[in-house]
Structure 1
């Protein structure tokens, strides 16, 4: 689709090792309430290490779809199996999830699935939401 950002799949094994070795905080840099795209950042506890990590509601379609049909289908398929689609979206790590906007519960479930993808207990992840 013309005008869509570059999208490429990301393998969880290619993510920084610190995501699976200690406590990680995901901080929302934009509001989560009703947003279809939430800017965020993952950071390692006690270190200056960070990684941009956004959330994207894969079904958002107005005024233009955010993902093409192939990526949307992948997001739904992975979600059905308890996983989350990890992509590079416009140059940033992004969790693409089914839906058109986010609630606090959906943000937490997305991060839960990211923890699962990197092989750690979800309790090692902390979420900081912005109202």
Structure 2
């Protein structure tokens, strides 16, 4: 992930950073620790790669989309992630979609799809990666 530094391939060109400049996250798994997703399979190895447990100073600015009824990622976990990001001085915008479940933004749900794409665009504009709202119409 963008937050993990201990997993590099032997052939990686380490003089170039593979850390992204920004993250746009759609209902991401962020907690692999005890009680989190997949912990029963990985045990204590979660410390090496669980995003929540590897947040550090310089973490990329992030926008995080989540439905309040997501059965896989609790809203409380997302809020805690935002808090930890901000504690280390990194921006984390949390966009909660009331009453929505996992995958609420998929193309089949056109209104939420448009809202998340538009909000992601505004986030990237605020960081200087886009210069204006795209003119592409989403039908």
Name the TM tier (shorter chain).
0.3 to 0.5
User: Scaled by the length of structure 1, what TM-score is found?
Assistant: 0.33
Q: Which has the higher contact order (CA 8 A, sep 6+)?
A: 1
Whose radius of gyration is greater, 1 or 2?
A: 2
Q: Which has the higher strand share?
A: 1
User: Scaled by the length of structure 2, what TM-score is found?
Assistant: 0.32
